[in-house]
Amino acid sequence: MEAPTVGSMVLASLLLKLGSYGFLRFTIPLFPLASLYYSPLVYSLAVVSVIYASLVTIRQIDLKRIIAYSSVAHMNLIVLGLFSYTQQGIDGAIYLMIGHGVVSTALFFCVGVLYDRHHTRLLQYYGGLAQVMPIYAVFLFFFTLANMGFPGTSNFIGELLILVGIFEKNTTIMALAGTGIILSAIYSIWLYNRIIFGSLKLQYFTVQSVQNFADITRMEIYILLALTIQMFILGLHSNIITELTKIPVSLILLGVC
């Protein structure tokens, strides 16, 4: 939360994935029996984290904290997929690692756009931005849909594969993990509604600052457009990733099972 916008984007897109990469590259291949033995504990911790982080996200009033806690929930879904020991589950975990890297990066950038203009990240100071920032509202809408796993976006493919993989192992864990996806829809829609719709919060800003509500610049449009294209390509053409991961994941599963 305290990092600058660029730092948050790097943390969300790359550094946050190092833990799941460590599970995939070292823990599961090098310690297959231990990974299988402790998988029920991992399931329990991950499911609790998915639900708890989602509930905490709903209660946040800082824009960066909302995205950060939602990232915690998504990363625990990835852990569930990795320890499902199924082709679909691990493929979905890898897919969600990539898709979440694109979506969370874009969301942190969107928060940075607002912070650069108004120097606050508190949710109660925003509202009605659709009236003065319509282009920004459209881009934020796409990434909000992706964050809640809407079909056609990158996160949907990963979450679906993870749930299918977990279903083969434990239907109870799958049902509990699915509640996290429902909660993600709640906090994503609620956040978008409070920022974009309603009336401008004139009581919090002077007349001069309200007049300075400026839509995103051309450079910001290019950055968000590039991320939007990546998000939809991943959401509509899943074979781009799954064909690359099929053989390596099969080799990992042969070593474990």
Q: pLDDT tens digit string along 194-221? A: 999 987 775 455 444 544 567 888 999 9
* Residue range of the domain that includes 54: 5-256
Secondary structure (DSSP) of 210-242 = HHT-----HHHHHHHHHHHHHHHHHHH-THHHH
CA distances from 98 to 10, 94, 187, 215, 228 (A): 13, 7, 22, 29, 14
Residue 122: beta bridge partners? 62
Identify whether the C-beta of residue 118 lies closer than 8 Å to the C-beta of residue 198. no
Residue 255 burial by Cβ neighbours in a 10 Å radius (0-12, 13-18, 19+): exposed
Pairwise CA distance, residues 60 & 80, whole Å:
25
- pLDDT for 129: 87
Identify whether the C-beta of residue 198 lies closer than 8 Å to the C-beta of residue 116. no
Distant-in-sequence, close-in-space partners of 207: CB < 8 Å, separation ≥ 6: none
Nearest C-alpha neighbor of 159 from the set 102, 230, 76, 240: 76
- pLDDT for 238: 86
In this prediction, the residues of the chain whose per-residue pLDDT falls under 70 are 202-213, 257
Give the position of tokens 């029996």.
Answer: 33
Q: In the chain, which residue ranges form alpha helices assigned H by DSSP?
A: 5-13, 18-22, 28-30, 32-37, 39-59, 63-82, 87-118, 134-147, 154-169, 171-196, 207-211, 218-236, 239-256
Structure-token pair, residue 92:
């979905």
Structure-token pair, residue 210:
């309200």
- pLDDT for 120: 84
- pLDDT for 257: 59
In angstroms, the first-to-last Cα distance of the chain is 41
In the chain, the number of structural domains is 1
Nearest C-alpha neighbor of 99 from the set 243, 237, 210, 255: 237
